[in-house]
Structure formats: structure tokens, C-alpha cells
Amino acid sequence: MTVQELIDSGSFQIINVGEDTDRAITVPFCCDLLSIAMGRAPAGCAWVTVMGNMNTLAVATLADAACIIMAEGTALDDIAMKKAKDQEITVLATELPVFDAALKVYQGLHG
């Protein structure tokens, strides 16, 4: 499943559509501790988190995440929103809990 296919699924609200929406998502990844995410997020992951600040975007870039999914109704703060637009990072959102959001991604990957 690509980032665009995830967007088209309608499972998540669109916060920002970035570049490379044809990129394949490898796996969902759940983590809210940025230092762990920086070292353990797999390249190409759909990172599900509740952390909506500028550092989240920096870690997503360093970890080479395919997209970020803001779970549990959380949102990017204003500075992070500007950075997502400037750096063309795809950010989606949902009211679902972190696990349920990651499960939706997993089900999209594995039918």
C-alpha cells in the first residue's frame, strides 16, 4: 500500500499531503518517545503518534518515515504545521486510539 492509497482509503483525515505519495508503506509503527522512534522507526513506516510538535517532524525525517498519523484526536501545533507544509511531509489524523489506527494501516497492508 502506498501513502496515496492510505489517503484514498478515507480512513484518516488529511492534515498535509507531502511529496512522494507513491511511496510504499512498509509497516505501521507506534511510539510517542521521540528518542526511541529516532532509533527504531523502520524506514517507510506509517508512524502513529500523539506527539504533534516540530520535533516529531524532525524525527520522522531522520527515520525516513513514509507518513505520520496523529492519533486520539491530537493535532500538530502551529509551528509543526508550517514545517510539515514547508518540508512536504504527509500528516494524517484520526480520533482512533494509537493501536486501532496502526491496526487500520496493518489491515490495509495485509488485506
Say which residues have a Cβ less than 8 Å from residue 76's Cβ, sequence separation at least 6.
15, 52, 53, 56, 70, 84, 91
The predicted model scores a pTM of: 0.97
The whole-angstrom separation of Cα 35 and Cα 13 is: 27
Say what percent of the chain tops pLDDT 70: 100
Instruction: Give residue-wise pLDDT tens across range 47-84.
Output: 999 999 999 999 999 999 999 999 999 999 999 999 99
The whole-angstrom separation of Cα 42 and Cα 44 is: 6
